Amino acid sequence: MAEKEIPYKIYLNESQMPKAWYNVRADMKTKPAPLLNPATSKPCTEDDLRPVFCDELVKQELNDTDAYIEIPQEIREFYKMYRPSPLVRAYCLEKKLGTPAKIYYKFEGNNTSGSHKLNSAIAQAYYAKKQGLKGVTTETGAGQWGTALSMACSYFDLDCQVYMVKCSYEQKPFRREVMRTYGANVTPSPSETTEVGRKILAEFPGTNGSLGCAISEAVEAATKQSGYRYVLGSVLNQVLLHQTVIGLETMTAMDKYGIKPDVIIGCAGGGSNLGGLISPFMGRKLRGEADYEFIAVEPASCPSLTRGKYVYDYCDTGHVCPLQKMYTLGSEFMPSASHAGGLRYHGMSSILSQLYDDGLMTARSVEQTSVFAAAQEFARVEGILPAPESSHAIKVALDEAKKCKETGEEKTILFGLTGTGYFDMYAYKSFNDGTMSDYIPSDEEIAASLAKVPKIQ
Ligand SMILES: *Cc1c(COP(=O)(O)O)cnc(C)c1O
């Protein structure tokens, strides 16, 4: 098809939306290492995980073999309210850059949670409801996950208890109010409401909190109340699986117009959005059907892939969750209070960790001020005010497009625009005022927290 026939926004119709999620583990030759029970150091069984997670989600978590897992009708109906999300050809950006590259982005910010997180929140709430539970507990960093989950829980009439990392709770009162509007109960973490919270507060008084610590509190709260389970917004295999709606829609839309991306870029916090975007493409690469370059982008302040180690580690500060083999900075790593709250996790999805370790994906770390400069450049021509997390992907997409301008290469660049940044205006203010700093942890700092990973490698 002639290129000028490609619209600015490619939408699928409802019948072209995926009916099953794609499980990339089925096509991986080296499977991600199994979760380990922290008490026995043996691989987790369904029985180990059932007290913490919903039954159906436990099955998805441990399923390394089925390539496709059906999306229940109820979830597909909810998806239809805000999906398919548009795949946008960034013509204006290309023109502004004067690049021969073709740039596409898949925009996930078209819902009230402002990010891709609703894709998994609605699935997890559905399975909790189906199991007859009363409610769920969770943590939230920047607040997008908590918002998404509170929307999903109110839809299915479930109680929603959110432990919100303290610095975000204070920096983002409006996020908190959105969650409360949807009926969620929001507690700043660490808190006095859990044993693990009290312990962390005693050890680190005045701490800003971290995702790892909020996770411990949420898990404790779930296991101590009957009829509750814990749900997580990233990192886990099940979450990455749900997020494959992003990649599946993208692939269908691109195939429809005969577009083949050369480079696929996404920001990586816990890895679910990137994993969801790249999975179907990675599947083709793993099966030898096509080749793509995949780039994970992480903040220089929390560089798990680029400076971490591939080892078994705790997923949370309180060490109540299963152990996971992943690229990690150590569960006690306390990232500086950067503005990309959704990327401040010490570890990484075990699926992405294995793909990265196998050389099937690359990673780059970028500094905060350069990320906001890219966000501004993008916002001024493409009309969307991006989330700081998403802007990590923008930064590298711009770098790649600018490289094409120098070399004359006509690469097709695809990136995931995970969300909008309207609740991040303090971050934009600090960039606009010129007071933003670029904190990069020292080797000593990383080595000190890595020294505390468990000795079961
Ligand atoms: C949470 C979040 C991220 C990080 O996503 P992961 O799937 O954990 O890597 C990126 N962008 C936005 C807008 C988010 O809310």
Does the pLDDT value for residue 204 go beyond 80? yes
Of all protein residues, whose CA lies closest to atom 10 belonging to ligand 1?
Answer: 389
Does ligand 1 lie within 6 Å of residue 276's CB atom?
no
For the Cβ of 387 lying below 6 angstroms from any atom of ligand 1, the answer is yes
Q: Give the pLDDT of residue 23.
A: 98
Phi and psi of 80, rounded to 5°? -65, -20
CA atoms within 13 A on the CB side of 372: 21
Query: Ligand 1 centroid to 40 CA: how many Å?
Result: 32
Give the residue-averaged pLDDT of 99-124.
97
DSSP 95-134: HHHT-SSEEEEEE---STT-BTTHHHHHHHHHHHHHTT-S
Residue to probe by mutation, ligand 1, list 112, 273, 371, most atoms within 8 Å of CB: 273
Q: Which two tokens stand for residue 422?
A: 């309207």
96 alpha carbon to ligand 1 midpoint, in Å?
Answer: 27
User: For residue range 221-267, what is the model confidence (pLDDT) as tens digits?
Assistant: 999 999 999 999 999 999 999 999 999 999 999 999 999 999 999 99
Write down the pLDDT at residue 349: 97
Residue 388, preceding peptide bond in cis (omega within 30° of 0): no
Q: What is the mean pLDDT of residues 60-83?
A: 98
Answer whether residue 57 shows pLDDT above 50. Answer: yes
Query: By the 8 A CB rule, do 78 and 111 touch?
Result: no
Cβ of 273 closer than 6 Å to ligand 1, yes or no, is: yes
113: tokens are 């949670």
The pLDDT of 315-338, averaged and rounded, is 85
Residue 171: the pLDDT is 83
pLDDT, the chain, mean? 94
What is the spatial distance between Cα 123 and Cα 140, in angstroms, rounded to a whole number?
17
Neighbour count for residue 285 (Cβ, 10 Å): 19
Residue 334 has pLDDT above 90, yes or no: no
CA–CA dist 268, 248 (Å, integer)? 19
Decide if 61 contacts 237 (C-beta within 8 A): yes
Confidence of residue 316 (pLDDT cuts 50, 70, 90): confident
What pLDDT, in 10s, does the model give residues 418-433?
Answer: 999 998 999 999 999 9
pLDDT for residue 343 is more than 80: yes
Select from 105, 315, 343 the residue to mutate for testing ligand 1; criterion: most ligand atoms less than 8 Å from CB: 343
Instruction: Please give the share of the chain, as a percent, with pLDDT higher than 70.
Output: 98
pLDDT of residue 240: 98
**Which among 348, 360, 368 has a CA at the least distance from the CA of 441?**
368
Look at strands 263-267 and 293-299 and give their pairing.
parallel
**pLDDT of amino acid 425:** 92
- pLDDT given for residue 315 in this prediction: 87
Least confident range of 242-246, 331-335, 360-364? 331-335
CA angle 147, 280, 94 (to 5 degrees): 75
For the Cβ of 18 lying below 6 angstroms from any atom of ligand 1, the answer is: no
Please give the model's pTM, rounded to 2 decimal places: 0.96
Condensed to tens digits (0 to 9), the pLDDT of residues 390-416 reads: 999 999 999 999 999 999 999 999 999
272 close to ligand 1 (CB < 6 Angstrom) = yes
Say if residue 298's pLDDT is above 60.
Answer: yes
Question: Per-residue pLDDT for 377 more than 80?
Answer: yes
Distance 253 CA to ligand 1 centre (A): 22
What order do you get walking across the sheet with 9-10 strand by strand? 9-10, 87-89, 102-107, 412-417, 263-267, 293-299, 362-366
**What pLDDT was estimated at residue 1?**
45
**In this structure, are residues 384 and 107 in contact, taking their beta carbons and an 8 Å threshold?**
yes
342 lines ligand 1 (CB under 6 A): yes
**271 Cβ closer than 6 Å to some ligand 1 atom:** yes
Q: Which two tokens stand for residue 349?
A: 């999805």
Q: Is the CB of 394 under 6 A from ligand 1?
A: no
Query: Which atom, in ligand 1's list, is nearest to the CA of 243?
Result: 7
456 pLDDT exceeds 90? no
Q: Rounded to whole angstroms, how far apart are CA atoms 305 and 346?
A: 10
Report how far residue 59's alpha carbon sits from residue 49's, in angstroms, rounded to the nearest whole number: 9
Tens digit of each residue's pLDDT (9 = 90 or more) over 4-48: 578 999 999 999 999 999 999 999 999 999 999 988 999 999 999
Q: pLDDT above 90 covers what percent of the chain? A: 86
C-alpha 238 to ligand 1 mean position (Å): 15
Residue pair 400/292 in contact (Cβ under 8 Å)? The answer is no
* Closest ligand 1 atom, residue 271 Cα: 9
269 vs 250: CA distance, rounded Å: 21
Q: For residues 139, 141, 142 and 147, what is the CA-based torsion angle, rounded to 10 degrees? A: -10
pLDDT one-digit tens code per residue, 142-200: 899 999 999 999 999 999 999 999 988 998 889 999 999 999 999 999 999 999 999 99
CA angle 384, 388, 391 (to 5 degrees): 65
- What's the CA-to-centroid distance between 226 and ligand 1, angstroms? 30
> Residue 336: is its pLDDT beyond 80?
no
**Which phi and psi angles does 165 have, rounded to 5°?**
-50, 130
